[in-house]
Chains A and B, each alone.
Chain A
Amino acid sequence: MNKCEIQFGKMKWKNPLTVASGTFGLEYAELFDLSLLGALTTKTITPKPKKGNKPQRIVETEVGLLNSIGLQNPGLEEFIKTDLQKYQEFDTNLIVSISASTIDEFIKMIERLDIQTGIDAYEINVSCPNVENEGIAFGTNEEIVFELTRKITSVTEKTVIIKLTPNVTSIENIALAAQKGGADGLALINTLYGMAIDVDARKLKLRNGIGGYSGPGIKPIALQNVYRVAQVVAIPILAMGGISNVQDALEFVIAGATAVAVGTQNFVNPFTSIEVIRGLEVYCHQHSVDFNELIGSIT
């Protein structure tokens, strides 16, 4: 059986699979050995505890999911004390997703996390659509993305992945800004803006009105974003957006992704990422191809 080892920034992955931030947690260790994944990605951590948005936070639509969680998390110090310890038990790469509201706060978080053991990479969440003055407010501005990436990469030796939003005019320009700032890799896409209305009550279904849209419905959009970015950057891409099975994953890889993440589909079947790993191995075996040859292999 072909193994699908990859290099992502400074990390070696045993396979190209991880989970999208916010869709997975240590809870799933009850179901399978999390070490089977190429990498684990945490839910986004912020400098201080974050309460999150008022409910209603979740709405299912025809072919996807709207959320307005608002980065609810216990904060950096609590994360270091509790979850980080538990994540270290797994023999795989750990990507810690972080968000902050100033460049300075980002740098302070990185400095604090850099002295901990067991962290392999940072995913810089500059693309959350559900928080004010952070997240997407950073990720839609080329200069800010460049400046933030440059400062972060100058203080850490670890792999730095910038997570991009599709809610921009030119995702290529944002991707290039991150690359120019020294990013080791890119993760895309975060959720698209979306909403739903209850026609009987004539009310917005999400309490916040507008949320982030994910799931199978966004796959074609994510795919073209990955394809476009892959045309212009030299750094590896971690692709996500509606991946439900191995066929979806292969499309992203062939479009130019080095690694892929399962997100919303974890809620439908928590074993999806494991099934995709096996599926990729089978595909490579049947097509007598090394996984790395598949990356960006559109003929």
Chain B
Amino acid sequence: MQLKKLPIQNISFLNQNYFELSFRDEKITELVKPGQFFQIKNPSKKFPLLPRPFSISKVEKDTFSFLIKKIGKVTRSLSELVQGEIVQLLGPLGNGFTLVDNKNSLLVSGGIGYAPMPFLEKELHGKGNHITSFHGGRTGNDIFCREVMNCTEDGSVGLSGFVTEHVEKYLQDNPVDVVYSCGPEPMLKVLVELCIKNSVQVQISMERIMACGVGACCGCVVSVEENNEVVYKKVCKDGPVFDGAKVVWDE
């Protein structure tokens, strides 16, 4: 990992809720793996204090980007930055997805869980995978890309209903070796159950409130089964990607 202060190369808005921040750094684009993240902070604002974790969305040559949803103070303040302003980035952090070769890979995302998917898709494609992507959102505002199987809860764009309903049908009718996923926890939970039922390996990227982001503070733990024991694993360092079948969901 490295701590960098980089000028924003580009900031662009997909719609009123989502925007993309891009930076240029050759060393970083050589290092990063899909599913890894950076702790990002606007250094001109003392508060909120902590940086926030964002996964890498796209990597093209020496440029890397983050897809961000405006939710709270930090994301709003980041959305108000302009090209050339300096942002503090710590990373790359976390384990990232484990990439397979020449397999049938299924990508499933929900809402802002779409963030790591473009980079993941690109790298899996380079490893000869056959890739199908499903993405779910509440409304058309949560849809990012026309080339994936989009599902909306209000039926305004693409297939109607929860993304997991359509993934369930897809898994029954198509050969899938590995499922890669990121999204809200209720979606991940249903998806993991589907994958277990269909005996498909599933890698899920988890999210937790973090402090250090590097494994020092033990603030962001999730319960994971290991050697028949339930242990706390750090989302920032042991994750954010976990074997979905091993995650023990909080009550």
B-contacting residues of A (Cβ < 8 Å)? 22-25, 27-28, 30-31, 43, 51-52, 55-60, 62-65, 67, 69, 72, 215-216, 264, 266-271
Contacts A60-B50, A216-B49, A268-B49; A67 near B215 (Cβ below 8 A)? no
Alpha-carbon distance A65/B217, docked complex (angstroms): 12
Alpha-carbon distance A23/B217, docked complex (angstroms): 6
Contacts A215-B49, A268-B49; A27 near B214 (Cβ below 8 A)? yes
Flag if B209 contacts A264 (CB, 8 Å): no
Q: Which secondary structure dominates chain B's binding surface?
A: loop
Nearest CB of chain A from residue B108's CB, rounded to whole Å: 24
A-contacting residues of B (Cβ < 8 Å)? 1-3, 41, 46-51, 88, 90, 208-222, 231-232, 237, 250
Q: Chain B residues near A216 (CB, 8 Å)?
A: 46, 49
B51 nearest in chain A by CB position:
A268
Alpha-carbon distance A57/B41, docked complex (angstroms): 21
Alpha-carbon distance A232/B216, docked complex (angstroms): 35
Flag if B216 contacts A28 (CB, 8 Å): yes
Alpha-carbon distance A72/B215, docked complex (angstroms): 12
Within 8 Å by CB of A58, from B2, B210, B232, lies: B210
Nearest CB of chain A from residue B210's CB, rounded to whole Å: 7
Within 8 Å by CB of B209, from A24, A28, A56, A268, lies: A56
Interface centre among A65, A266, A268, by most chain B C-beta atoms within 10 angstroms, is A268
Contacts A55-B250, A58-B211, A267-B212; A69 near B49 (Cβ below 8 A)? no
- Please list the 10 inter-chain residue pairs (A to B) with the smallest Cβ-Cβ separation, ordered nearest first: A25-B216, A58-B219, A27-B214, A72-B218, A267-B211, A267-B212, A57-B219, A58-B209, A69-B218, A27-B215
Interface centre among A56, A58, A215, by most chain B C-beta atoms within 10 angstroms, is A58
Nearest CB of chain B from residue A201's CB, rounded to whole Å: 15
Within 8 Å by CB of B217, from A67, A215, A268, lies: A67
Flag if A69 contacts B217 (CB, 8 Å): yes
Contacts A31-B2, A58-B210; A52 near B217 (Cβ below 8 A)? no
Nearest CB of chain A from residue B5's CB, rounded to whole Å: 10
Q: Chain B residues near A264 (CB, 8 Å)?
A: 49, 211
Flag if A52 contacts B232 (CB, 8 Å): yes
A26 nearest in chain B by CB position:
B216
10 more CB-based (< 8 A) A-B contacts, given A58-B211, A58-B217: A22-B217, A27-B216, A28-B216, A31-B3, A60-B49, A67-B211, A72-B232, A268-B49, A268-B50, A269-B88
Interface centre among A22, A27, A43, A266, by most chain B C-beta atoms within 10 angstroms, is A27
Nearest CB of chain B from residue A133's CB, rounded to whole Å: 20
Interface centre among A51, A64, A67, A267, by most chain B C-beta atoms within 10 angstroms, is A267
Alpha-carbon distance A278/B218, docked complex (angstroms): 29
Flag if A57 contacts B214 (CB, 8 Å): no
Alpha-carbon distance A30/B51, docked complex (angstroms): 18
Alpha-carbon distance A71/B204, docked complex (angstroms): 27
Nearest CB of chain B from residue A87's CB, rounded to whole Å: 13
Nearest CB of chain A from residue B66's CB, rounded to whole Å: 19
Flag if A62 contacts B222 (CB, 8 Å): no
Q: Chain A residues near B90 (CB, 8 Å)?
A: 270
Contacts A30-B1, A56-B209, A58-B211; A268 near B41 (Cβ below 8 A)? yes
Nearest CB of chain A from residue B246's CB, rounded to whole Å: 17
Flag if A267 contacts B217 (CB, 8 Å): yes
Flag if B221 contacts A72 (CB, 8 Å): yes
Flag if B222 contacts A55 (CB, 8 Å): yes
Alpha-carbon distance A27/B212, docked complex (angstroms): 10
Q: Chain A residues near B218 (CB, 8 Å)?
A: 43, 52, 57, 69, 72
User: What are 27 contact pairs spanning A and B, CB under 8 A?
Assistant: A22-B216, A22-B217, A23-B212, A25-B216, A27-B1, A27-B215, A27-B216, A27-B237, A31-B3, A51-B231, A52-B232, A55-B250, A57-B219, A58-B210, A58-B219, A59-B209, A60-B50, A60-B209, A65-B49, A72-B232, A264-B49, A266-B216, A267-B51, A267-B211, A268-B41, A268-B49, A268-B51
